[in-house]
């Protein structure tokens, strides 16, 4: 059981209570929320009201959420690289190649399957405690909630843009400097599996700065304000600086000019987008303390970085 509290955003003024609950507690279905309203498990400013009563915005909603099994996925003994763990949260280093959530074509062998094995109580938490995701072929830091209260806190921090997330990425193309991209992202108009800058999409904000330049590539550090699907990959492709190894957004692979044999070998063997979730910071759900973790880039990106540095020292005349 968890007592969840939220303030109704002013932009939801005029909506019914059940509609508002779907927006402010997105991890529960409308049917489940309506059941809890009927069971008198929801109050608005301390008063129990009906599902179809409309709100003005600014009210305080309290939900007494029942812990119940919310997943049918299998628990699997898959190794986890746990960076930090306490009674409330878990910080994991996800390797490239590991899918976060089960889905079409990947019903087993995912991070969620692993969590269900290592942390059996995860069956009572939406998505087994996973509150955000990184792509299958992106490596790095991921946070997991171990209680309903922690889950709600981390979701609220994400929505309020209070979670600090920084990435390292290697682009195809030499940048002159950093900047900020404030471009909405939505489904690609013709390719269902892709996303694109789409002015009917959701707002997406990406800050990036140059760490190191090479002849035809740039190592950048990226800070996210929002967390849209494929956000960094889409935004970098939008400014014609797609990520090395990105099969979806970089187009057909082309070996760069002035490429030595060592770099050519590394590039041909680099089969994923060169993107690593390097830094993660959050406010601890129980203590209120700000906590932050940082991970160096994995071996494959280190090898790519070294090969690019060595290639730049070659005589390309």
- The residue annotated as part of the active site, out of 81, 87, 121, 135, is 135
* Domain count of the fold of the chain: 3
Tell me the CATH number at 11: 3.10.290.10
Co-location of 173 and 308 in the same domain: yes
Co-location of 198 and 263 in the same domain: yes
Listed residues 65, 91, 111: the one ending a domain: 65
Residue 100 lies in a domain: yes
Whether 212 has a pLDDT exceeding 90, the answer reads yes
Average pLDDT (156-180) is 94
Can you tell me the distance from the alpha carbon of 243 to that of 110, in angstroms, rounded to the nearest whole number?
A: 24
Is residue 135 part of the annotated active site? The answer reads: yes
Between 101 and 279, whose confidence is greater? 279
pLDDT band at 207 (very low <50, low <70, confident <90, very high): very high
Co-location of 264 and 172 in the same domain: yes
Residue 184 lies in a domain: yes
Residue 292 lies in a domain: no
Between 314 and 291, whose confidence is greater? 291
Listed residues 98, 116, 145: the one ending a domain: 145
- Give the pair of three-digit tokens for residue 272: 């994923």
Co-location of 57 and 137 in the same domain: no
Can you tell me the distance from the alpha carbon of 300 to that of 307, in angstroms, rounded to the nearest whole number?
A: 11
Co-location of 107 and 244 in the same domain: no
Co-location of 305 and 226 in the same domain: yes
Residue 116 lies in a domain: yes
Q: Name the residue range of residue 113's domain.
A: 82-145
Co-location of 169 and 249 in the same domain: yes
Residue 105 lies in a domain: yes
Beta strands (DSSP E) in 10-72 are 42-44, 60-65
pLDDT band at 69 (very low <50, low <70, confident <90, very high): very low
Whether 170 has a pLDDT exceeding 90, the answer reads yes
Can you tell me the distance from the alpha carbon of 157 to that of 151, in angstroms, rounded to the nearest whole number?
A: 10
Whether 89 has a pLDDT exceeding 90, the answer reads yes
Among the listed ranges 106-110, 176-180, 289-293, which one has the minimum average pLDDT value? 106-110
| pLDDT value at residue 316 | 57
- Taking alpha carbons only, the member of 90, 265, 270 closest to residue 172 is 270
Please report, for residues 173, 209, 258, 285, 308, the alpha-carbon distance to residue 314 in angstroms, rounded to integers and kept in the order given.
Answer: 19, 26, 9, 51, 10
Report yes or no: 173 and 240 within 8 Å, Cβ to Cβ: yes
Q: Please provide residue 38's backbone torsions phi and psi, each rounded to the nearest 5 degrees.
A: -65, -30
- DSSP label of 166: E
- DSSP label of 243: B
| pLDDT value at residue 1 | 55
Co-location of 304 and 185 in the same domain: yes
Which tens digit of pLDDT belongs to each residue from 224-264?
999 899 999 999 999 999 999 998 998 887 887 878 889 98
| pLDDT value at residue 104 | 64
Residue 136 lies in a domain: yes
Co-location of 86 and 118 in the same domain: yes
| pLDDT value at residue 107 | 80
Residue 284 lies in a domain: no
Co-location of 136 and 204 in the same domain: no
Report yes or no: 7 and 57 within 8 Å, Cβ to Cβ: no
Average pLDDT (57-76) is 77
Residue 160 lies in a domain: no
pTM, two decimal places: 0.77
Can you tell me the distance from the alpha carbon of 15 to that of 274, in angstroms, rounded to the nearest whole number?
A: 43
Q: Are strands 139-145 and 275-283 parallel, antiparallel or unpaired?
A: parallel
Tell me the CATH number at 133: 3.30.70
Co-location of 38 and 11 in the same domain: yes
Q: What is the 3-state secondary structure (H, E, C) of 175-202?
A: CCCCEEEECCEEECCCCCCCEEECCCCE
Name, of 199-203, 267-271, 292-296, 308-312, the range with top average pLDDT: 292-296
Listed residues 91, 117, 145: the one ending a domain: 145
Can you tell me the distance from the alpha carbon of 6 to that of 61, in angstroms, rounded to the nearest whole number?
A: 5
Co-location of 229 and 132 in the same domain: no
């Amino acid at each position: 059981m968890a007592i969840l509290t939220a303030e109704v955003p002013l932009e939801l003024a005029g909506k019914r209570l059940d509609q508002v609950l779907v927006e402010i507690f997105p991890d529960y279905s409308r049917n489940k929320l309506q059941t809890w309203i009927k069971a008198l498990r929801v109050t608005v400013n301390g008063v129990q009201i009906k599902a179809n009563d409309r709100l003005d915005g600014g009210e305080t909603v309290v939900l007494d959420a029942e812990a119940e099994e919310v997943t049918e996925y299998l628990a699997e003994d898959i190794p986890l690289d746990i960076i930090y763990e306490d009674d409330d949260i878990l910080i994991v280093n996800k390797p490239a190649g590991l899918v976060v959530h089960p889905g079409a074509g990947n019903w087993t062998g995912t991070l969620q399957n692993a969590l269900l094995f290592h942390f059996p109580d995860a069956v009572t938490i939406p998505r087994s405690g996973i509150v955000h995701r990184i792509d299958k072929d992106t490596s790095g830091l991921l946070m997991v909630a171990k209680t309903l209260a922690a889950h709600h806190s981390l979701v609220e921090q994400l929505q309020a843009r209070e979670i600090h997330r920084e990435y390292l990425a290697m682009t195809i193309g030499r940048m002159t400097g950093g900047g900020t991209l404030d471009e909405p992202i939505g489904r690609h108009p013709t390719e269902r599996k892709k996303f694109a800058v789409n002015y009917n999409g959701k707002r997406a904000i990406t800050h990036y700065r140059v760490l190191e330049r090479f002849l035809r590539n740039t190592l950048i550090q990226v800070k996210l304000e929002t967390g849209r699907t494929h956000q960094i990959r889409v935004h970098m492709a939008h400014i014609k600086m797609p990520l090395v190894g990105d099969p979806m957004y970089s187009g057909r692979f082309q070996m760069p000019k002035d490429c030595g044999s060592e770099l050519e070998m590394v590039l041909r063997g680099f089969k994923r987008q060169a993107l690593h979730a390097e830094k993660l910071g959050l406010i601890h759900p129980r203590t209120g303390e700000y906590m932050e973790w940082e991970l160096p880039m994995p071996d494959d990106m280190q090898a790519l970085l070294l090969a690019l540095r060595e290639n730049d020292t070659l005589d390309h005349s």
